[in-house]
Structure 1
Amino acid sequence: MFTGIIEEIGHMRRIHSQGQAMVLTIGAKKVLEDVHLGDSISVNGVCLTVIAFDTDSFSVDVMPETYRKTNLRKLQSGTRVNLERAMAANGRFGGHIVQGHVDATATILSRVPEENAVVYRFEPENKQIFKYIIAGGSITIDGISLTVVDVNHHEAAVSIIPHTLAQTVLYDKKAGDTVNIECDVLGKYMERLLTFGSSEPAGGSAKKQSKLTESFLADNGFM
């Protein structure tokens, strides 16, 4: 589990691809301070397992499912990536609960300065995830814990302060670039719990309507 607070920016050293399988070697410093084989490190918001490391780099496997579902397939040698170690049990929880399980990629539509901030608008490729995106809620973009400031049925927006922009790879991103999106896990688990078992067996009637509605969330203190 991660918090979405980026620890450092790493640099792609080597990319070994075989079909849709990849081994990435990433130059880093801070995340290597207490690294062990088998540790989890978030790379652009994707939870990956350390399979090798030395004094200034580490390597991770990328399986075909991750290749297809994330922007890691677009990486090139020298590309900068956001890095975060798994959260320590005695650490401060500065962001929100981040699993490192990407829900979809999204295309950046615009990057607009707004006084001391920059507003990024983005469009997820999988429109189904909009049900998990709410204004004022948490979202992870390339591993960064951010707050949604606007959302409709087609696009959403986040506002980023100068410190976050300078310390993450969003500084490099512009309109047309692809980012990884992970929605707040709370909404996904709530939906599953409230709708589990609502489908009739094959040949039966249609699905029952979900009880997870905006009014239900408001009545129970989630909005």
Structure 2
Amino acid sequence: MFTGIVEEIGRMRRVTKQGQAMMLTIEADKVLDDVKLGDSISVNGVCLTVVQFDDAAFTVDVMPETFRKTTLSRLTPGARVNLERAMQANGRFGGHIVQGHVDTPGTIVSRRAEDNAVVFRIEPDDPSPMKYVIRHGSITIDGISLTVVDVEERSFTVSIIPHTLAQTILQHKQPGDSVNLEFDLLGKYIDRLLDFRGRGGESTAGRPGTGVTMEFLAENGFV
């Protein structure tokens, strides 16, 4: 689990591809302070497992599912990436609950300055998770915990303060660039629970007209 507070920007030292499998070696500093084999590190919002490390870099495996569903497949040597170690049990939630499980890549459709901030409009490649995006809710972009400013049918905006821009790879992102998107976990759980009738464990997912209704609540003593 992560919080979406990027600790540092790493640099790709080596990218090795074999079909849709990859090994990434990333130069870093802060995230190596107490690293151990098997540790989880978020790389551009993707939770990956450390399989090798030295005093200047660490290596992670990328499986085909992650290759297909994230922007990691587009990384090349020299590319910059956002890095965050998994949260410790006694840590602070500076952002929000982030799993490091990307829902879909998205495309930056616009970038504009607004006084001291920079406003990005982003369109998910897969529009179906847009139901989880709410105004002033949380979203993770390339591993960064951000607050949604505005929502349209197929896109949303976030406003970036100077500190966040300077400390993350968003400083280099321009219209047309791709980013990893993870939508708020709470919304996904609520959506799933509301789509589960709970009678004998029978799932109603994907069946129209099912789920929690006023009749169901009345029948079960909730209203």
TM, length-normalised to structure 2: 0.90
Is there any run of 5+ residues in structure 1 with no aligned partner, and where?
201-205, 213-223
Letter in 2 for 1:77: P
Change (3 A) 1:45 1:199: closer
Instruction: Provide the alpha-carbon RMSD of the alignment.
Output: 1.3
Deviations 1:166-195 (A, max 9, x none): 000000100000000000000111111110
- Cα distance in 2, alignment partners of residues 144 and 161 from structure 1: 12
1:185 is matched with which residue? 185
1:120-179 Cα offsets, whole Å, 9 max, x none, are 001001010100011110000000000000111111000000000000000010000000
* Cα distance, 1:111–1:55 mapped onto 2, change above 3 Å: same
8 Å Cα contact 1:199-1:208 kept in structure 2:
no
Structure 1 letter corresponding to 2:189: Y
Residue aligned with 1:166, SS: helix
1:55 is aligned to 55
| Aligned counterpart, 1:3 | 3
Aligned residue identity for 1:198: T
Distance 2:187 2:205 in 1: 20
Report which stretch shifted further, 81-90 or 189-198: 189-198
Amino acid at match of 2:62: V
Q: Does 1:82 align with 2:88?
A: no
Whether 2:69 is the aligned partner of 1:69: answer: yes
Percent identity of paired positions between Structure 1 and Structure 2: 66
SS at match of 1:35: coil
Measure how far apart 1:208 and its partner are: 2.1
1:155 counterpart residue number: 155
Alignment of 1:209-220 (within 5 A): 209-211=210-212
Quote the Cα distance in structure 2 between the aligned partners of 1:133 and 1:105: 15
Whole-angstrom distance in 2 between the partners of 1:105 and 1:199: 24
Q: Structure 1 CA distance, aligned partners of 2:19 and 2:204?
A: 39
2:209 is matched with which residue? 208
State the SS of the aligned residue for 2:153: coil
SS at match of 1:99: coil
Distance of 2:43 and 2:129 partners within structure 1: 21
Structure 2 alignment gaps of length 5 or more = 197-202, 214-223
Aligned partner of 2:204 in structure 1 is 198
Count of equivalent residues: 207
Q: Secondary structure at the match of 2:67?
A: helix
SS of the aligned residue for 2:10 comes to: strand
Following TM superposition, by how much is the alpha carbon of 1:74 offset from its aligned partner in structure 2, in angstroms? 0.8
Paired letter, 2:195: T
For residue 164 of structure 1, give the secondary structure of its aligned residue in structure 2. Answer: helix
Can you list the C-alpha shifts for 1:73-105, whole angstroms capped at 9, x where unaligned?
A: 111100000000000111111000000000000
Tell me which amino acid in the other structure corresponds to 2:35.
V
